[in-house]
């Protein structure tokens, strides 16, 4: 047989007669696909089978192997969301869902996924305060707060506050704190959508307590103090502290953004709920899925009467969180150190050892890899300008795209023409899976571009 003829027979010919393909119902009767339909749903499995049938018609899959390919193409779950290893060096990557939940939080979510006593007193059989154990856990973690409430994200916490306390009234805010919170959403637009009016004071770089005091009047709903958690203003600057605003005779609502409940030694410049409440804030708002390391939610902590007004406002019903969020939040607050704090507090020396160990293992498998020092960041709108010493495994640049296609997918960053797998946000028990993903990416890299007849 000559070379040209050998090349021609390597690929399966396109199927010109659709009737030669096994019918969909026949394929779905395969015991493996039947079992998958019970686990994932018939429609999802049927869609996978249809895609493989299309490939078979194009000659990409042998007719006799359609069921096998369909089984191999089935997702692990009925959701299209895929697990991703965050090797970017951004601890709270917004596009990856920010904080990864701890095992304790994941276990709590699983336990709460069925019917649960989220709003029931099992002792009396009567209705109870929704999520009472979660709220109690928050108050134990922040004793400076008299009461707590939870909504579905940080922006919702501010929207509820503005609606309940300042609809038709004024919110006094510094021009230097009129932030954009991401994806084009701007704080002024959010607050004005509630029917409140903004009273801007000061300038971009300097706002004094006197600026706020001059603006306070009978129409004031509250003073808003916003921590600029995703940018820094340096140079000739001045901002009024919570302690300076507290005596002005109106509520001070302080948005700390990144969600620290107590001071964090690694980030001494980042405000926390306890500190700002003790300084005199009437109410502190924060996100739960940032430095707290929990699920997406918005926290409201502070004065009991204000929190009660917020919790009883009609809008609170539309913004309330579900039982899974309450379970994950409680387990995060009560439980062991979440992955976010573990990554934040990681020892740079140990990170370098891990990078060297992984690079050595991969070199033994023929992968061009080496350990390098890098810098990580908090991300997620927290600790702007702060860098964290880290270490990475350096690979050829083309691995960045290849690794996004592995299972689990790996998201890296590219720097100086190399793909960098920064380890600060990668849990140590994931190292083996990360190495295996690199090996699979390397194998696909080695076969890329090969023709069928060479």
Per residue in 274-319, pLDDT tens?
999 999 999 999 999 999 999 999 999 999 999 999 999 999 999 9
Q: What is residue 206's three-state secondary structure?
A: strand
Q: Which of 15-29, 37-51, 158-172, 325-339 has the lowest mean pLDDT?
A: 15-29
pLDDT score recorded for residue 450: 37
Angle at which helices 31-40 and 42-57 cross, to 10°? 130
The CATH code belonging to domain 84-94+341-447 is 3.90.1150.180
Q: Which residues contact 187 (CB under 8 A, 6 or more apart)?
A: 158, 173, 177, 178, 179, 180, 181, 226
Which has more pLDDT, 85 or 230? 85
pLDDT score recorded for residue 452: 34
CA quadruple 226, 232, 238, 242: dihedral sign: positive
Angle at 351 between CA 345 and CA 352, to 5 degrees: 145
Q: Please tell us whether the domain made up of 102-336 is placed in CATH 2.60.120.260.
A: no
Asked whether the domain spanning 102-336 has the same topology as the one spanning 84-94+341-447, the reply is no
What pTM was computed for the model? 0.87
Mean pLDDT for 190-212 is 93
Query: At 4, is the pLDDT very low, low, confident or very high (cuts 50, 70, 90)?
Result: very low
173, 226 Cβ separation under 8 angstroms: yes
Q: What is residue 226's three-state secondary structure?
A: strand
Mean pLDDT for 101-120 is 96
**Residue 27 is encoded by which pair of tokens?**
């394929």
pLDDT score recorded for residue 235: 76
Q: 70 pLDDT exceeds 60?
A: yes
Which has more pLDDT, 1 or 307? 307
pLDDT score recorded for residue 228: 78
pLDDT score recorded for residue 449: 40
What are the domain boundaries of the chain? 3-73, 84-94+341-447, 102-336
């Amino acid at each position: 047989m000559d070379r040209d003829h050998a090349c021609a027979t390597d690929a399966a010919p396109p199927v010109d007669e659709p009737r030669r393909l096994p019918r969909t119902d026949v394929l779905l009767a395969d015991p493996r696909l039947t079992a998958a339909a019970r686990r994932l749903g018939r429609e999802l499995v049927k869609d996978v089978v249809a895609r493989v049938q299309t490939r078979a018609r194009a000659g990409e899959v042998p007719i006799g192997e359609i069921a096998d390919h369909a089984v191999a193409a089935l997702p692990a779950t009925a959701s299209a969301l895929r697990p991703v290893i965050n090797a970017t060096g951004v601890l709270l990557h917004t596009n990856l869902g920010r904080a990864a939940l701890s095992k304790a939080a994941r276990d709590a979510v699983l336990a709460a996924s069925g019917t649960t006593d989220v709003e029931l007193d099992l002792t009396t059989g009567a209705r109870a305060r929704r999520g009472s154990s979660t709220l109690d856990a928050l108050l134990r973690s922040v004793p400076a707060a008299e009461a707590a409430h939870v909504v579905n994200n940080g922006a919702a916490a501010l929207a509820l506050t503005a609606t309940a306390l300042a609809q038709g009234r004024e919110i006094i805010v510094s021009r230097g704190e009129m932030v954009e919170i991401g994806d084009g959403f701007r704080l002024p637009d959010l607050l004005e959508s509630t029917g409140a009016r903004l009273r801007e004071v000061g300038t971009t770089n300097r706002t004094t307590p006197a600026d706020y005091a001059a603006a306070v009047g009978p129409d004031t709903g509250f003073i808003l103090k916003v921590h600029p958690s995703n940018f820094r203003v340096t140079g000739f600057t001045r901002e009024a502290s919570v302690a300076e605003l507290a005596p002005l005779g109106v509520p001070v609502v302080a948005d700390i953004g990144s969600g620290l409940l107590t001071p964090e030694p690694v980030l001494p410049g980042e405000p926390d709920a306890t500190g700002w409440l003790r300084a005199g804030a009437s109410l502190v708002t924060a996100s739960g899925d940032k430095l707290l390391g929990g699920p997406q939610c918005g926290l409201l902590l502070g004065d009991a009467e204000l929190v009660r007004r917020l919790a009883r406002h009609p809008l609170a019903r539309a913004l309330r969180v579900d039982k899974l969020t309450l379970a994950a939040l409680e387990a995060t607050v009560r439980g062991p150190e979440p992955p976010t704090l573990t990554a934040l507090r990681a020892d740079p020396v140990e990170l370098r050892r891990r990078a060297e160990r992984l690079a050595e293992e991969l070199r033994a498998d023929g992968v061009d890899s080496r350990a390098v020092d890098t810098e990580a960041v908090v991300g997620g709108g927290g600790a702007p300008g702060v860098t964290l010493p880290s270490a990475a495994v350096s690979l050829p640049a083309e691995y960045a795209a290849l690794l996004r296609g592995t299972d689990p997918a790996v998201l890296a960053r590219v720097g100086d023409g190399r793909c960098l797998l920064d380890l600060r946000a990668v849990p140590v028990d994931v190292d083996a899976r990360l190495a295996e993903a690199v090996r699979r990416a390397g194998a696909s890299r080695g076969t890329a571009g090969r023709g069928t007849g060479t």
